[in-house]
Amino acid sequence: MERADLETLIAACQSGSRQAFHTLFEMYKDRVYSIALHFSGEEAMAKDISQQVFLKLFTSIGQFRFDSEFSTWLYRVVANACVDEQRKRRRFVPFSESGEMPQMSVKSSQEESVIRRQVAVSVQGAIAELSPKLRLPILLKYVEGLSYEEIAATLGCSIGTVSSRLNRGHKALAQKLNHLREFGLQEE
């Protein structure tokens, strides 16, 4: 959707149009849920967060002033909801019972597929263990594909801070996932 059309849609939402809000919901529901799911690692929590985000959006869309991209403003609402939900629950959600992967050699494409799935679970678990300050920039960069500038605007910090947090996040992930090097999966 072009910026002018999006601004018209948002203005209609601000005027109380339920149809416009429904359209906005349909446009962004998958992105909001994706961030919430990657942040929390739990479908039920991701649904709760998504619901909170759209309730907040419904009640506070009048506060959006068009001085930034709507998606940046919305991502900030999502990020705040994720952190708030985590504070409420006071725990990190594990992706797997054990961070260790079974020892096996890659002999067939089926075994390699199993290993790749286990590696993906390990990576998700490692991301879930990051502090929110490191996890959010990682998710916004690699799941949502935002630029450093967009992440900075979303998180309300400088580009240097985004760079620093991504760097620290990469180092923490490398340390947590060092045990995966032994599998030596080749990129196709």
Residue 102 lies in a domain: no
Domain assignment present for residue 95? The answer is no
Give the pLDDT confidence of 110-132 residue by residue, as tens digits.
677 677 777 777 788 888 888 88
Q: How many domains does the chain have?
A: 2
Determine the pLDDT at residue 86. Answer: 78
Residue 92: its pLDDT value, please?
A: 46
pTM above 0.85, yes or no: no
What is d(CA 37, CA 126) in angstroms, rounded to the nearest whole number? 14
Which of 26, 59, 89 is the C-terminal boundary of a domain?
89
Residues 6+ apart with CB under 8 A from 121: 95, 96
Which CATH number is 160's domain given? 1.10.10.10
Gyration radius of the chain's alpha carbons: 19
Low-confidence ranges of the chain (pLDDT < 70): 89-110, 113, 181-188
Which of 89, 122, 140 is the last residue before a domain boundary?
89
Domain that holds residue 115: 109-183
Distance CA(32)–CA(147), nearest Å, equals 17
All residues at 6 or more sequence positions from 128 whose CB lies less than 8 Å from its CB, including other chains: 40, 41, 92, 93, 94, 95, 135
